[in-house]
Amino acid sequence: MRAQSKLAVLTRPFHANFTEVNHLGAAFMAEPHKFDKVLTRVFTATRVADNPLTAMTKGMGRTQEISSFDWEWEMMGASTRPLVATAAASGSGISLSEITLTLDEDWFKPGDVISPSAGVSRQLVRIQSGPVAAAGPGVGFEYVARLMSDSQTDALSAAAQAAGVQWSKMFSVYEEGGDQSGSTTYAMPMKLRSNLSTYRKEYSVTGDAANQSLVVALMDANGKVYKDYKWLKYAEAEYWIQFYKEKERGLWYGRSQSSVAGANGRIARTGPGVQELLEDSHVHFYNTLSEKLIREYLLDIFFGRVDMSNRNIVAYTGEYGMLAFHQAMMNASAPFLTVDSKFIGGSGSNLEFGGQFVKYRGPNGITLTLRHNPVYDDREINHIYHDELQVPIESMRFTFLDFGGAKGDANIKYVHKKGGYKLGYVSGLQTPYGANKGGIMSNAKDSYTMIVHDQCGVQIDDVTRCGELILAQN
């Protein structure tokens, strides 16, 4: 047959007399050895290893089913707080004289003993009268007070007399036979609202493609190899991998909005992801990670708020964040590792060295567990790179999540709408079960389309128990 034949799809070069390997390679008759024909791509419909937030919420039973698209919850803040001086104090209290304080609220009552946040040593003053609205709108309330001292020379420190100083109630004291009593303050709950996101994805396949053989096999999550080598198996595997990955990205990076319209004019609302929810938590930018930084950061989260017996937190980070954490722990523990058999093993000429820190037990009951978050390493979506390492800056982000228990009492939950998960097929001459032989068709095409629809989101009841350490960018 002529090489120019319209039926020819491949021509090979001629050679004569002497045959060598290069000739066979150029003619595609010699090929490298193929170790395996099993495609190392797995079904993730039942596997969530690459989707850590889904695994720790939905996978651990930390879920909440709702009937509506959005939800509300209330959170109580602290029932007491310091009041702030809106103007400089009038009078110093020297010679047992009175002091007039202007504070932002009318909460204190006569008899309350309060203390300023300024000065070298703690000073106490007692409210004698007030509060009286100060002259002018929005300037606060005036209290007349006395230093709790018998000394004629004691005076309120200059620093404590300034505007902006915080004044905290210590206790209330009264005289014999008095008829006054101390103040009581109440926290009113804050109401917060969030909503689900609607995720949809589809794929279509023609009848010919569905039955097209492949040169590789497919393996599912349980190790079973599918040897029918059909395109359909690969298409479904790829579909589910991408669908679960996209939902995971939404749970981390989703931004709440209710103004972007879809094709039919209705709003394509999205709910907040973890990073948006944590914008009101403990967010700190760092340059160099150290054990001291981690310790002080976690103490700031838990101090005075969480019982020491329940200070367990998980930090999600990328691979380079895990390396930075390991180095920080190595630097802090260097004096203790010289004879540590956990890092030095073997004997003689077969010594082994190595190990990696993935857990931290800090002071005051703090326990930190490090977990890898592949989303933070994903070069497909993280485009800002570290100047020296040439890896995504996001890989060195630490997201601290206090899950706070299991199932119903969890602080972080996977929220899904009742009946929100749907899956269906639009079939023509080809169906997901084979060729259509007399069945009802939705269209005249020799193909079918699979569509999956899901409505879900993430809920963090108390974001102040969580936070983020973010590598500062130049």
Q: What is the pLDDT of residue 261?
A: 87
Tell me if 263 is assigned to some domain: no
Question: Could you give the number of structural domains in the chain?
Answer: 1
- State the chain's mean pLDDT as an integer: 80
pLDDT bucket at 35, cuts 50 / 70 / 90? very low
Q: What is the residue-wise DSSP string for 410-463?
A: -SEEEEEETT--EEEEEESSEETTEE-SS---SSSSSEEEEEEEEEEEEEES-G
Tell me if 95 is assigned to some domain: yes
Tell me if 226 is assigned to some domain: no
Average pLDDT over residues 367-374: 92
pLDDT bucket at 146, cuts 50 / 70 / 90? very high
CA dihedral of 400, 404, 410, 411, whole degrees rounded to 10: -50
Q: What is the pLDDT of residue 177?
A: 84
Tell me if 303 is assigned to some domain: no
Average pLDDT over residues 370-388: 89
CATH number at residue 146: 2.40.30
Q: Sheet harboring 367-372: ordered strands across?
A: 282-286, 467-471, 398-401, 312-317, 367-372, 359-361
Tell me if 146 is assigned to some domain: yes
pLDDT bucket at 411, cuts 50 / 70 / 90? confident
Its domain, for residue 154, covers 83-172
Q: What is the pLDDT of residue 42?
A: 41
Whether 221 shows a pLDDT value over 80: the answer reads no
Tell me if 266 is assigned to some domain: no
Whether 2 shows a pLDDT value over 60: the answer reads no
Q: What is the pLDDT of residue 376?
A: 94
Q: What is the pLDDT of residue 406?
A: 54
Whether the model pTM is above 0.75: no
Least confident of 58-62, 98-102, 151-155: 58-62
Tell me if 101 is assigned to some domain: yes
Among the listed residues 423, 424, 412, the one whose alpha carbon sits nearest the alpha carbon of residue 460? 412
Tell me if 117 is assigned to some domain: yes
